[in-house]
Structure 1
Amino acid sequence: MFKKSLLAGVALSTMLTGAALAEGLSGDKVVIGVLTDLSGVYADVAGKGSIVAVEMAVADYGGKVLGKPIEILTADHQNKADIAVNIAREWIDTKGADTIVDLVTSSVGLGVQGVGGEKGIVTINSGAATVRLTQKECTATSFHWIYDTYSLAHVTPPSVVADGGDSWFIITADYAFGHSLEADATAVLGELGAKVVGSVRHPFPSADLSSFLLQAQSSGAKVVALANAGQDTINSVKQAAEFGLVAGGQKLVALLAFLSDIHSIGLELGQGLLVTTGFYWDLDDETRSFSKKFFEKFGKMPTMVQAADYSATLHYLKAVEAAGTDDGKTVAAKMKEMPVKDAVIHDGKIAPNGRVIHDMYLMEVKKPSESTGEWDLYKLVKTVPGAQAFQDPAKSGCALSQ
């Protein structure tokens, strides 16, 4: 009898200790890590602008949560998964990181998400694109915020096929993101009755894409699709113009292009390109107000990755406040309960697999004659509801969605 009472007492003590640990803030503060590309091909897509966006979110929240300070860590992962994973472990183990955001580059996103799952730390991917993040590799504390390869494949290709683009050649960045986007696009094109006549993979990153573009040009495909991003996309579009690919009658499609990419390419070369995005600065009064403040701080309009970092950070802080703790699993559960509503995402919800479901937008790059200013680059073609744009969580393969 005594032994049973003793065991019961130990169990109760353990439960109470666990409950105590789940209350309040570890280290008496909240630590947010912004792990991004500060020097490589995605530095304009994310980079310093992502840090500014997170700083804006913290400031707009009031600089404190549960009456305690918020600390921001920053680092350059150099688009290398091993470097990113080592930084993430150091932040968690020695600096008390409670969440890690941005994670541009899919190999980085997958690696750090794995660490977060192991450590019980919230990871928020706004820059990484691979849909694998919310499939079998999902974790209880991982989130995918603004876009993914599934949504990119389900917004742009149907419009191009409907316009007569029934044969495709795909030029793919040779790493996790490119592979995922190529696979998703190929599947959609097959469902639409379009044919992929060929594909080729280029090293990541690539300054010279001439040999790959020549293969696409000689394929006879009506559509040449770019399954790459950032500087690789910029280089592809500029070099395609040099080879006269579009002038020769083929349609060039960038399956993923950011506002910073189009700004760099320019409207003369970029006009007519279709772009799928989860955010554009000139959509409505709320997006314009946020973007104007961002521009005042950074001198550029935000990309959808940078805007997503703002949205994700705000939502995370709201969840910490509501949960009364920075315990990763507790906060993650609270994040999924709460609607995502801010200047970036007006009416979003988070699925059990961590996928944020919200409207996506098909944009067309304006002609120079249609633009009224430096950042007036897109015109809205259509709005695609989140339930149509993103994969059904129940079909994702994520154990949390079963």
Structure 2
Amino acid sequence: MSFRVRVAGAAGLALSLLMGTSALAQGVNGPIRVGVLSDMSGPFADQAGTGSVVAAQLAADDFSKEAGELKVEIVSADHQNKPDIGLATARRWLDQEGVATIVDLPNSAVALAVANLMKERHRVALASSSLTSDLTGKACAPTTVQWVSDTWAQGSATARAVAGRGLKSWYFLTVDYALGQALERDATVALKAAGGTVKGSTKHPLNAGDFASPLLAAQGSGAQVLALADTGADMINAVKQAAEFGLMPEMRIAALFVQLSDIHALGLKAAQGLQLASSFYWDRTEGTRAFGKRFAERMNGRMPTENHAGVYSSTLAFLRAARDAGTIEGEKVVAAMREKPINDALFGTVTIRQDGRAVHDVFLYEVKTPDESKGPYDYYKPLATVPGDQAFRPLADGGCPLVK
């Protein structure tokens, strides 16, 4: 699946095609092409997918109000959760279509592969929907920015909150690729630091569907907590099947990465009481509510997830930095993004660290009961704010070779 949304005029588009990629590398002389590489039809389609294309378009619309003659074009494609397809699409965009940056990138394996390619080609990877903390650790690059969250932030915040309630023995149900592996790893570190123990772990393939065997293993482990180191459709199915197998209330469920679309799919009756960490919720501030309203108008009433918010904010920050730097060369654009704090309408004050981590506050929420909710997407009640300097892994601890 591939389609594009044009903001540029026909004359500007024709000019940029004549100029080619090499000329664009010398300066911002034609439409800036932003590639939204997402999961359009798989387990992350509701978290990202078409909504990410809409979010990028909203960023392009807002940038056009301040950009003068500089135009933006949004292109998009489905990576199908396959790194080889993601890489092939990214290469085509870079070699044939002059794409300046690639954003979204749900699926950590795809994100790691594409980010490495972007480093080689000196273009910016905006990993706004990828969670593996390796992107700002051993795999960090001067052309990568990870905007929303990561496995360290999600695992640490959730483990500390749940263990703080005395629930310290865990069993992990983990999706068997980069995201799940990093989520389990980073949550385990935080859990053990809080005095907890791991009773066992079962890996499952992406889009597994049937969780009977691992759920029975978890139930027999004696663990207090079933920790779901997965997300999207896998997390939703695991929660539903855990209820069918009668795991609750003897076991509590700690979902390490939950988004608004997942709660909507589960329904409040099944999801009520879940505690989660999120960097964005549409009903938190006037700025988030305004964005939510604009997004919902284009998405048949659906409210944005934090992935959608991350696509909007990182795309807008990139466009402004490319304009100010006068180039789309990745190292120079990321350096411009790091120059000063970004006053972002959706995430508050954002700073970009040397390892590419976008640092901002993270919030702990609890899912409302059906009686507490006033209607669709009114799902979260706030519990606490985790300041950015505490929410993300310390700069010196990630193993990023860029950090001196």
| 1:202 pairs with one of 201, 204, 229 | 204
* Separation in structure 2 between the aligned mates of residue 100 and residue 67 of structure 1, nearest angstrom: 22
Asked if 1:303 corresponds to 2:305, the answer is: yes
Corresponding residue number in structure 1 for 2:292: 291
Output the CA distance in 1 between the equivalents of 2:365 and 2:188: 21
Please report how far the alpha carbon of residue 322 of structure 1 lies from its aligned counterpart in structure 2 after TM superposition.
1.1
Give SS of 1:368's match: coil
Compute the displacement of 1:359 (Å): 0.4
Equivalences, count:
381
Cα drift, residue 118 of structure 1 = 0.5
Equivalences for residues 185-334 of structure 1 within 5 A: 185-247=187-249, 249-298=250-299, 299-334=301-336
Answer yes or no: is the 8 Å Cα contact 1:65–1:317 preserved in 2: no
Instruction: Give the letter for the 1:346 counterpart.
Output: G
Are 2:64 and 2:70, in contact at CA under 8 Å, matched by a contact in 1?
Answer: no
How many Å separate the matches in 2 of 1:254 and 1:206? 17
Residues in 2 aligned to 1:66 and 1:35: alpha-carbon distance in whole angstroms: 27
Name the CA distance, whole Å, in 2 between partners of 1:334 and 1:235: 42
Q: Which runs of 5+ in 2 are unaligned?
A: 1-22
Q: Equivalent residue of 1:330, what SS? A: helix
Query: What whole-Å deviation, never above 9, does each CA across 1:115-145 have from its counterpart, x for those lacking one?
Result: 0000001000011110000111111110100
**Alignment partner, residue 374 of structure 1:** 376
Aligned partner letter, 1:326: I
Mean Cα deviation higher: 72-81 or 325-334: 325-334
Aligned to 1:173: 175
Q: Are 1:172 and 1:200, in contact at CA under 8 Å, matched by a contact in 2?
A: yes
**Which residue number corresponds to residue 336 of structure 1?**
338
Where in structure 2 are the equivalents of 1:2-401 lying within 5 Å? 23-25=26-28, 28-62=30-64, 65=67, 67-247=69-249, 249-298=250-299, 299-401=301-403
Shift of 1:63: 6.4
Identity %: 46
- Report the AA paired with residue 27 of structure 2: G
Describe the shift of the 1:43–1:398 C-alpha distance in structure 2 as closer, same or farther (beyond 3 A).
same
CA distance in 1, matches of 2:340, 2:54: 25
> Structure 1 length as normaliser, TM-score?
0.93
In 1: Cα distance, 2:173 partner to 2:318 partner? 36
How far 1:342 sits from its partner (Å)?
2.0
Spell out, residue by residue over 1:272-312, the C-alpha distance to the aligned partner (whole angstroms, 9 max, x if none).
Answer: 11111110011111111111111111120000000100000
Counterpart residue identity of residue 291, structure 1 = G
CA separation of 1:381 and 1:214: change in aligned 2, threshold 3 A: same
- CA deviations on 1:86-143 (whole Å, 9 max, x unpaired) are 1001100110010000000000100000000000010000111100001111111101
Kept in 1: contact 2:344–2:350 (CA 8 A): no
Deviation at 1:66, TM superposition (A): 5.9
State the shift of 1:244 in Å: 1.1
Q: Residues 210 and 151 of structure 1: is their aligned pair in 2 closer, same or farther, counting only changes over 3 Å?
A: same
Q: Which amino acid aligns with 2:370?
A: P
CA distance in 2, matches of 1:121, 1:325: 10
1:323-381 CA-partner distances (Å, limit 9, x unpaired): 12222221111011132222211111000011000000111111111101111111111
Q: Distance in 2 between matches of 1:212 and 1:395?
A: 33
2:156–2:191 Cα contact (<8 Å) kept: no
Shift of 1:395: 2.0
State the partner residue of 1:11.
none
The residue that corresponds to 2:14 in the other structure is none
In 2, Cα distance between equivalents of 1:125 and 1:210 = 33
Q: Tell whether the 8 Å contact from 2:309 to 2:346 is kept in structure 1 after alignment.
A: yes
Paired residues of 1:125 and 1:144 also in contact (CA < 8 A):
yes
Inter-partner Cα distance in structure 2 for 1:22 and 1:303: 33
2-structure distance, mates of 1:141, 1:376: 37
User: Separation in 1 of the partners of 2:192 and 2:78?
Assistant: 39
Structural RMSD (CA): 1.3
Q: 1:65 to 1:327 in 2, by over 3 A?
A: farther
Conserved? CA contact 2:296–2:302, under 8 Å: yes
Note if contact 1:66-1:324 (Cα within 8 Å) is conserved in structure 2.
no
Tell me, what secondary structure is at the counterpart of 2:71? strand
Give the C-alpha shift of residue 24 in structure 1: 2.6
The 1:63–1:70 alpha-carbon spacing in structure 2 relative to 1, beyond 3 Å, is farther
In structure 2, C-alpha distance between the alignment counterparts of 1:39 and 1:340, rounded to whole Å = 33
Ranges in structure 1 where 5+ consecutive residues have no aligned partner:
1-19
Deviations 1:235-262 (A, max 9, x none): 0111111011113x11111011110000
